[in-house]
Amino acid sequence: MKTILPKLVGFFVLFAALFLGASPARAHCDSLDGPVVKAAQRALETGNVNLVLIWVQKDDEPEVREAFERALTVRRLSPEAKELADLYFFEKLVRIHRAGEGAPYTGLKPAGRDLGLTIPAADKALESGSTEDVEELLTRAMWEGVQERFRTARARRLYRTSDLVAGREYVEAYVVFLHYVEAAYQALAGKQAESRASEEHPH
């Protein structure tokens, strides 16, 4: 079983990144073309601070309001001042937003970064009102993940009882396949699945 544990740990790390949230590298709340900066741009142009307050915790509102008023005052001075004031406010807002999420602030990221497939698909779904592309993306990824692990486990299923190495390889593939299916179901179905699983398999 010692050979199984490292692979299972790696699998769950990968699965958590894929299904339980975006990794810091793929998060786009700190990008210049991300939703937080876009909200800040609209707020500064309209003078409506409420457009950005939804992106921070309630306790952080005073700090954001103060930074917003300063930016509004400075940006009226000149085009150069406007650019600097806007950048100041973007950085301030994103830093506070990231802190509210428990994430580090590592500076504003350039627009146009590669965000992978999931984040653009999710944003597009909210804009278009259709989840068709998201569903297709997740379905394909899930199907490929299940099939890959199923084929491996199935191929290793028939082995000679005298071949302990082959037997352990089957057990390893079996465990990975079952845990993948269970973890995927839990992640996709959420708390309802957890509740049902507890009822069906009481400890």
Q: Do residues 71 and 63 make contact, with C-beta atoms less than 8 angstroms apart?
A: no
State yes or no: pLDDT of 163 exceeds 70: yes
Mean pLDDT, residues 129-154: 92
pLDDT above 90 (res 149): yes
Nearest to 56 by CA among 40, 45, 41: 40
Does pLDDT of 200 surpass 90?
A: no
Q: What are phi and psi of 195, to 5 degrees?
A: -65, -45
Entry pTM: 0.64
Closest by Cα among 22, 21, 105, 127 to 56? 105
Q: What is the pLDDT of residues 23-79, one digit of tens each?
A: 444 467 888 999 999 999 999 999 999 999 999 999 999 999 999 999 999 999 999
Token readout for 188 is 């996709």
